[in-house]
Amino acid sequence: MVKNKRWVYVHEFKGLPKKSDFELREEDIPPLKDKEVLFEALYLSVDPYMRMYVNRIGPPEYTMIGSQVARVVESRHPEYAVGVNVVGYFGWQLFTVCDPDNITTVFGRKDKPFILPDFGDLPVSLGLGILGMPGNTAFFGFLEICRPKAGEVVVVSGAAG
């Protein structure tokens, strides 16, 4: 039987995080119930926002937060076919079993996994980068908030948070 591995946030850290602030745990994957999907992580995110939220969610002992590009490996849900790639807030773990219609993130909002379109020859990891949350933040922040006009000078940093 395949086992899940997940990184658990176990100690609140001050300053830089250390390896001892996290623990890699292994656990059985439960059988799927009606409308549940088994997702396998392909790429995990490591984003600047995590540091800000990790100590605010509650006491340690939860799967480290974060989004991932994952592939459907088993499904009992009509919208999620085997082989489809998604972006979801599943945290730092290899496998996720959930009902996509009833996911509440650690931020307290409903957040159904987004089915990625076929990117052709482009890597699906783009779903976490330029086509994901960081890319959308930059795109809409620049166009909707800054609203640049012809003739203005714009300086862009590395946009690293």
pLDDT digits 0-9 by tens, 11-53: 888 888 889 999 999 999 999 999 999 999 999 998 877 877 7
Confidence of residue 159 (pLDDT cuts 50, 70, 90): low
Domains and CATH numbers, the chain: 3-119 (3.90.180.10)
| C-alpha–C-alpha distance, residues 17 and 54, integer Å | 11
Please give the model's pTM, rounded to 2 decimal places: 0.85
pLDDT at residue number 40: 98
Please state, as a whole number, how many other Cβ atoms lie within 10 Å of the Cβ of residue 96. 25
Please state, as a whole number, how many other Cβ atoms lie within 10 Å of the Cβ of residue 104. 10
pLDDT, tens digit, for every residue of 70-114? 999 999 999 999 999 999 999 999 999 999 999 877 677 788 999
pLDDT at residue number 32: 96
The amino acid occupying position 66 is G
Q: Which two tokens stand for residue 101?
A: 């219609």
| C-alpha–C-alpha distance, residues 37 and 83, integer Å | 11
Query: Which residue from 129, 125, 96, 127 is spatially nearest to 114, judged by alpha carbons?
Result: 127
Count how many Cα atoms sit within 13 Å of the Cα of residue 54 in the half-sphere of its side chain: 27
Q: b/e per residue, 26-42, with b = 16+ CB within 10 A?
A: eeeeeebeebbbbbbbb
